[in-house]
Structure 1
């Protein structure tokens, strides 16, 4: 076991994630895993890692680390202000930290989620066949100042590797998301359905469990009890407030709020990377 990094400053939120924890939804345990799976997968490819190598998913920044050994890394996802001993680091390109170096993740600027990925991935004991943190069930250790992140002994990559600019994702403040109709779509008034598919909704905050949006209130044609149904990453629920909630990677596996739609899997990374007060338009995928 090779010590890689020591946390010297704690930021907004970070957690170890891999692809997720599959096969346990029937027991109420969500899949979890990387919120922006595109960036997670591309970052691992840059380093020739296994497709499920564990990374550190960082929200917004504010973290600093001390390198405890020489190792190769990549930053993938949100663009921002990231430095090695005060020298700016670019996303999507491999870089080398040497023992004693200071890695500073000051803050994201374009997008909200950054992946710090070491060559070989972080070394974490799996729980239920995954290294993904799920703090609601006390799965995985929360980072704090002084925490040590471990990795694997690897042969250094000979040359800098990266993703060409034309293939890098753009994380805009206004996005369009493709959705499928949810099981309760027809229970909403025609006016609400029209607003949902035509108007913009503003992201007001959230976390790995759910993102909250404000816009035209969504109203049911009549008040009625809804039988709890299975939910997933991307389920769009509408509570009594009329403001939609998009469930994210750590969301509960069942819910009793009406489900107006589900985000297309290929667009999940876009909504995950929204910054507060960003806007989204939902576009229906026709059958």
Structure 2
């Protein structure tokens, strides 16, 4: 009797579609969650952009439109009377010149000092380098108002009160800018620096031909932050100057408010817009460099 061979053929299993992670309730909740997120984002944007919108529209409004209730969100006509009144109420031409000089010179000196100091802490060997850097970091914990009196006494003894030297030189040292530059320079491979030394490059040549080109993002970040800081500086120029000839724009706004009072808000907002517009434009154009530069070298010790 011959054996009967029974062959069983298994049908290939048809691939089943993966199960969805959620049922109809989950799919219905997803658009609702997205809607809530957009509502929250729009609300947060309104909190920050609302005052700016009101500022840049109020400068073209008449006093009646500014105080109207319910508010008039847009001016009926684009009038430059508020700008003219603000410009004539205070010597803004001199304020602009002083702010431009102090910002340009102060930024150049502060960034140069930060670059040279950071390079020294990264690539030079000298005694007590780490303790000195810890002392430098400790200076970041000291509020700036603590050194106002010593700085003023030093400037007064040198005869620099009401001068550009008194306005600029006490703020040349920036611990924060030095810290940012050092943290980025630590990420530069040492082999590149050693190769430059083998080729006979000195420290300055290495700095300008290798380190700074590789540090362009953080250098732009430090530059922008320093420009904004110098432009908006208020306390020190208020202390070290005693005449309108040497005042800067933030102090000019205070003078404008004292002169116009709390009634003529159109003039005050026009002066504020003139001070705010340059820095706002710089920030909008360079915000991606600020974010990218601040994140570079953040975890390097």
TM-score range, shorter chain: under 0.3
Greater Rg over alpha carbons, structure? 2
Going by fraction, where is helix more abundant, 1 or 2?
2
TM-score (norm 1): 0.19
TM-score (norm 2): 0.19
